[in-house]
Structure 1
Amino acid sequence: MQYFPIFLDLKAKSVLVVGGGEVACRKVDSLVRAGAIVTIVSPTIDRYLKTLVEQNECQWIQNFYSKDQLSMRYVQVWATTDNPELNHQVHHDAKQLGLLVNVVDDQPYCDFITPSMINRGRIQVAISSGGASPVLVRNIRQRLEAQLPQNLNIQADFAASKRNDIKQALPDVESRRKFWERFFDLPEVEVATSHQVLESCYRHLIDQPNTEVGQITWIEFGDDVELLSLKALRLMQQAELVLYAQDCPFVFIDSVRRDAERLAFADEVALSTMLAQAQKAQLRVVVLIPQTSTKFSLLIKQAMHLKLASQ
């Protein structure tokens, strides 16, 4: 992983943009929409930026760049001019003050980069190749845009509006997590276009007891993670505990739910003990075993009430 992904809260935070051309327009537009206090330094600026300045959306220092214009109040500095020498000077000055700086389209001079974004209101999906292939990123974005429903913003807004209500109804984090999983799986929620529909689903489900019990899903891994079935991937995302053979490739382990507990087992005896503890706690468990292995057959047969998921 070349860059650590992070969403930064820029509301009421000061950001300096050096340059006033087309590139600056794109960056300033995004920064203003994120709520940043943007200061532009440039002798001249694009018409769009002038409009933002006239509307008090950002500030303009109508002058050439000078090191004296930098200060510790800026959480980000952007160098967007078409003069590489000037951009590198901005980078040098910003680094001396310990400021995060981005020289646009000049990756070695970037402390951070901006990913391609898909926006559905509160839901944001960021895609990045670390600057390696913008065209590939654009293609991925187009595919995801076609897959993600437009009503995700409605769902997210509704969930946010219920944060206090659900804490009173379901006092512990685990029960709230399982409730939301059931809620967002409802067919009516997936196609909802109004707050009223979601409210109806919410009220109906909040009064229903959670009858979910623990389960164990056996998934065989091979050499190619892309051969996993959609069902297997879905169950891997729902698992609370993932048990995996020591020779399991990391790409399979990394495909499971991020907050699931992950434990390796060395043999059948160790696995049997882990499964017994998981069953007692009624956890949803995924067990990753080699495709060609037969030594776990007895354990699978003993779990007759549990589902088997394979490729």
Structure 2
Amino acid sequence: MATSGRWWPIASNPRRSVPPSACPTGWTDPVHSLPLFHRLTDQPVMVVGEGEAAEAKRRLLERAGAVVVGEDDPRARIAFIAMADPGDCLARLKARGLLVNVVDRPELCDFTTPSVLERGPVLVAVATGGASAGLAKALRLRLEALLPQSLGLLAQGLADARQRLREKWSDGGERRRALDAALADGGMLDPLDEGSAARLDQWLVHGEAEPFWHHDMMLRSDDPDDLSLREARWLGQADLIVHDPAVPPAILARARADAARSVLEAGQGAIAHSGNVLVIRRR
């Protein structure tokens, strides 16, 4: 999800296997694509081909603010090919160093384009790595029903209030805990509540940061789907995760990407940390 206008999501596809030694987090099965949001306003993007598929790509790019150009434009760094036989064109563009998307040929793509839901500056991109555009669309339509139109107003309001947030909560961890509490289910700024944007000023005056916590969690299973809602919330809010060496990567993958991590050592005593600490043990 992104919260800045005129960005467009593109999922890069490495199309190669990664050895375990190249995965410092311990994952041996890396994600198939890395979602990136590209600022395309006034940027040249190439579309090669004719017909409905090519026109759909042109409309998509123009909506994102890009300048659609042809194959003879040397400035483009990203290209879309909508042709029945893309082989020669693909070879030419790859030789020029362009990142290329070939419509309906995910095995030839350097990147894929997801199904996109837009709420003002909020973009939600749903991708399947080219496996099924229909599935991505179905998921997007489900999300359309969940996310209120006012979500964009809430996002813009939070962006405009960034300086006020820093003044009220100068410590980054404290500020994050205050936002986490406000944006939680039933919170004052619950993003699924139509009225949240209208309560932003009130929250900036009266809102308080949650005190930091320290929780111990004993895994009942190596399957992340067996985590309780509370445990999943702890993983998403922890600033530091101290875990048993045997905790599987699939569990740790549910944590905040920027949370600090360390391995729990035998006989380790109290953990001093000015933030939310989650200790994960394995039976």
TM-score, normalization by structure 1: 0.73
The answer on whether the counterparts of 1:88 and 1:109 sit within 8 Å (CA) in structure 2 is: no
Which position in structure 1 is the counterpart of 2:187?
A: 187
Which position in structure 2 is the counterpart of 1:222?
A: 221
The Cα offsets for residues 149-207 of structure 1, whole Å up to 9 and x where unpaired, read as: 443212111111112332334334333322322332363422243754322222222xx
Alignment map for 1:189-208 (pairs within 5 Å): 189-190=189-190, 191-193=193-195, 195-205=197-207, 208=208
Which position in structure 2 is the counterpart of 1:303?
A: none
Query: CA 1:196/1:228 → structure 2, altered by over 3 Å: closer, same or farther?
Result: closer
Q: Give the SS at the match of 2:98.
A: coil
Alignment map for 1:67-216 (pairs within 5 Å): 69-71=72-74, 73-81=75-83, 83-84=84-85, 87-185=86-184, 187-190=187-190, 191-193=193-195, 195-205=197-207, 208=208, 210=209, 212-216=211-215
Larger radius of gyration: 1
CA-based RMSD? 2.3
Which position in structure 1 is the counterpart of 2:279?
A: 287
Q: Does 1:277 align with 2:271?
A: yes
The Cα offsets for residues 267-304 of structure 1, whole Å up to 9 and x where unpaired, read as: 2x13x3xxx233xx3431222222xx3xxxxxxxxxxx
Q: Distance in 2 between matches of 1:144 and 1:217?
A: 33
Q: Give the SS at the match of 1:117.
A: strand
Q: Does 1:31 align with 2:31?
A: no
The answer on whether the counterparts of 1:238 and 1:257 sit within 8 Å (CA) in structure 2 is: yes
Q: Distance in 2 between matches of 1:94 and 1:263?
A: 45
**Structure ranking higher in strand proportion:** 2
Q: Does 1:6 align with 2:36?
A: yes
Answer with 89-98 or 189-198: which moved more. 189-198
User: Deviation above 6 Å: which 4+ runs of structure 1?
Assistant: none
Q: Distance in 1 between matches of 2:244 and 2:211?
A: 27
The residue type paired with residue 167 of structure 2 is Q
Which position in structure 1 is the counterpart of 2:28?
A: none
The residue type paired with residue 203 of structure 1 is V
Q: Distance in 2 between matches of 1:246 and 1:149?
A: 42
The residue type paired with residue 33 of structure 1 is R
Q: Distance in 2 between matches of 1:221 and 1:146?
A: 34
Q: Give the SS at the match of 1:165.
A: helix
Q: Distance in 2 between matches of 1:140 and 1:149?
A: 16
The Cα offsets for residues 46-94 of structure 1, whole Å up to 9 and x where unpaired, read as: xxxxxxxxxxxxxxxxxxxxx6x141x112111113x31xx22221111
Which position in structure 1 is the counterpart of 2:13?
A: none
Which position in structure 2 is the counterpart of 1:300?
A: none
Distance apart, 1:122 and its partner CA = 1.8
More relative contact order in 1 or in 2 (CA 8 Å, sep 6+)? 2
Which position in structure 2 is the counterpart of 1:248?
A: 247
- State how many pairs are aligned: 250
Q: Give the SS at the match of 1:77.
A: strand
The answer on whether the counterparts of 1:70 and 1:94 sit within 8 Å (CA) in structure 2 is: no
Determine what percentage of the aligned residue pairs are the same residue: 31
Give structure 1 stretches of 5+ with no counterpart: 42-66, 294-311
Query: CA 1:3/1:195 → structure 2, altered by over 3 Å: closer, same or farther?
Result: closer
Which position in structure 2 is the counterpart of 1:54?
A: none
Give structure 2 stretches of 5+ with no counterpart: 1-30
TM-score, normalization by structure 2: 0.79
Q: Give the SS at the match of 1:145.
A: helix
Q: Distance in 1 between matches of 2:159 and 2:63?
A: 20
